[in-house]
């Protein structure tokens, strides 16, 4: 399974970090840790996330972990995963929060936006000028 492989690779990278920091490492038996083995806090997560976003060639000021959460919910929703399951996966006690805050399906919004742009700029790459 992809998840098991990813966790095994994570453990190997974490062991390398543990060796590198030596006595500063705090063995708290955590899976996801700071650079010295301590519990992650929001600042740790945001800092690491910005590094990944920048390495991907994106603007780190435009992306936050919250966008990942929205995308996760939207993609699961668009594939027909029941809202109760999605709520459980994102740690929501109630489906109300997931439904109102996070469940924004991407495809309808993108399609509607593209259609409106075709109306605003007719003949600029819309159906009239589409190549077969």
Model pLDDT, residue 132: 41
pLDDT in tens, 30-44: 999 999 999 999 998
User: With 80 as the cut, is the pLDDT of residue 106 above it?
Assistant: no
Who wins on pLDDT, 85 or 132?
85
CA 71-113-105 angle, to 5 degrees, is 30
Model pLDDT, residue 125: 52
Model pLDDT, residue 128: 46
Average pLDDT, the chain: 83
Q: How many CB atoms lie within 10 A of CB 86?
A: 21
pLDDT in tens, 43-79: 989 998 999 999 999 888 888 888 888 888 888 887 8
Nearest to 51 by CA among 40, 60, 42: 60
Residue 9's pLDDT band, with cuts at 50, 70 and 90, is very high
What is the distance between the alpha carbons of residues 21 and 41, in angstroms, rounded to a whole number? Answer: 19
Q: How many CB atoms lie within 10 A of CB 35?
A: 14
Model pLDDT, residue 126: 46
- Please report the DSSP string for 21-66 in residue order: HGGG------SSB-TTSPBP-HHHHHHHHHHHHHHTTS-TTS--HH
Model pLDDT, residue 131: 43
Predicted structure pTM score: 0.55
- Would you kindly state where each structural domain of the chain is located, as residue ranges? 62-123
What is the distance between the alpha carbons of residues 18 and 25, in angstroms, rounded to a whole number? Answer: 6
- HSE, CB side, 13 Å, CA atoms: give it for residue 85: 8
């Amino acid at each position: 399974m992809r998840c098991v492989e990813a966790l095994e690779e994570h453990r190997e990278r974490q062991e390398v970090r543990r060796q590198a920091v030596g006595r500063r490492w705090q063995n708290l038996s955590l899976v996801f840790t700071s650079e010295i083995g301590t519990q992650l806090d929001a600042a740790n997560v945001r800092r690491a996330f910005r590094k990944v976003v920048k390495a991907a060639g994106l603007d780190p000021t435009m992306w936050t972990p919250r966008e990942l959460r929205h995308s996760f919910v939207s993609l699961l929703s668009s594939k027909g995963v029941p809202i109760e399951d999605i709520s459980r996966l994102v740690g929501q006690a109630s489906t109300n929060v997931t439904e109102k805050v996070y469940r924004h399906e991407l495809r309808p919004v993108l399609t509607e936006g593209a259609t409106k742009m075709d109306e605003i700029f007719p003949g600029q790459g819309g159906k009239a000028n589409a190549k077969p």
